[in-house]
């Protein structure tokens, strides 16, 4: 597809690509839905209780671990030997009322003939709930979640290799779509064509000048519809 940067398909030519890998949060639904606002607060609440600290200190720990380890969860496991199960259950018990059905994305995914996967730092049950709420769950062959990754988050290259091996993906015939640009780096290094869903969240832009995604959009539904020829 891209062959070590030597060739890049046009957006319309991507329609016949056999493998599509999608991030979940702020990618398959708009960032304005702000599910992460709920998750962010629940992370802080959990950390405050788990470490017996005030919310100001819990927030500092939360963000520090996210920057250093890729996810707050990984930092808590590494530094505090935390069992991930209760944490994942608590922080992802969010209200999905703000998530809207996306009929245009549903139609676009239906028109794209390739196999489609979700690759997320979130847990499986939460991912399934969100996909059902958007109305697109039937289009995905499988989900590679944080538990399947042995709690090692993107952008650690080893989890991309595990995901690719589990699903039998040929990286040079695959597209990966993601809102955090640094998470596209390992995919691009494997040979995947990368699509960045740009948002207004500053932390999602870190290292954008380094990773240089192949395509970008601020509206994934519209972009996919264009690729699918709708």
* CATH code of 81's domain: 1.10.150.450
pLDDT band at 203 (very low <50, low <70, confident <90, very high): low
- 155 and 80 within one domain: no
- Residues 49 and 147 both lie in one domain: no
Q: What is the pLDDT of residue 71?
A: 87
Q: Give the structural domain span for 49.
A: 35-91
212 and 112 in one domain? yes
Of 46, 70, 91, the last residue of a domain is 91
State which of 45, 70, 91 marks the end of a domain. Answer: 91
140 shares a domain with 154: yes
Q: Is the pLDDT of residue 70 over 90?
A: no
Whether residue 221 lies inside any domain: the answer is yes
For 117, phi and psi rounded to 5 degrees? -135, 155
Strands 19-22, 215-217: pairing is unpaired
Confidence (pTM): 0.91
Judge contact between 167 and 18, C-beta under 8 A: no
Question: In terms of domains, do 166 and 202 share one?
Answer: yes
Distance CA 225, CA 148 (A): 30
Query: Binning pLDDT at 50, 70 and 90, where does residue 4 land?
Result: very low
Cross-strand bridge partners of residue 178: 196
pLDDT of residue 5: 45
């Amino acid at each position: 597809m891209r062959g070590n940067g030597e060739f890049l398909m046009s957006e319309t030519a991507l329609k016949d690509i056999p493998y599509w890998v999608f991030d979940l949060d702020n990618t398959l639904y708009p960032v304005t839905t702000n599910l992460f606002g709920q998750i962010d607060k629940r992370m802080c609440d959990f950390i405050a209780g788990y470490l017996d600290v005030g919310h100001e200190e819990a927030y500092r720990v939360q963000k520090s671990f996210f920057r250093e380890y890729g996810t707050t969860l990984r930092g808590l496991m590494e530094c505090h030997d935390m069992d991930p199960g209760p944490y994942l259950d608590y922080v992802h018990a969010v209200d999905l009322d703000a998530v809207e059905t996306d009929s245009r994305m549903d139609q676009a995914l239906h028109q794209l003939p390739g196999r489609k996967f979700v690759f997320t730092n979130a847990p499986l049950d939460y991912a399934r709930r969100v996909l059902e709420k958007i109305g697109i769950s039937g289009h995905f062959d499988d989900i590679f979640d944080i538990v399947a990754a042995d709690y090692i988050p993107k952008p650690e290259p080893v989890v991309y290799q595990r995901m690719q091996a589990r699903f039998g993906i040929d990286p040079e015939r695959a597209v990966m779509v993601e809102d955090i640009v640094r998470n596209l780096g390992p995919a691009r290094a494997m040979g995947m064509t990368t699509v960045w869903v740009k948002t207004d969240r500053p932390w999602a832009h870190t290292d954008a000048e380094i990773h240089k995604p192949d395509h970008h959009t601020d509206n994934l539904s519209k972009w996919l519809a264009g690729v699918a020829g709708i």
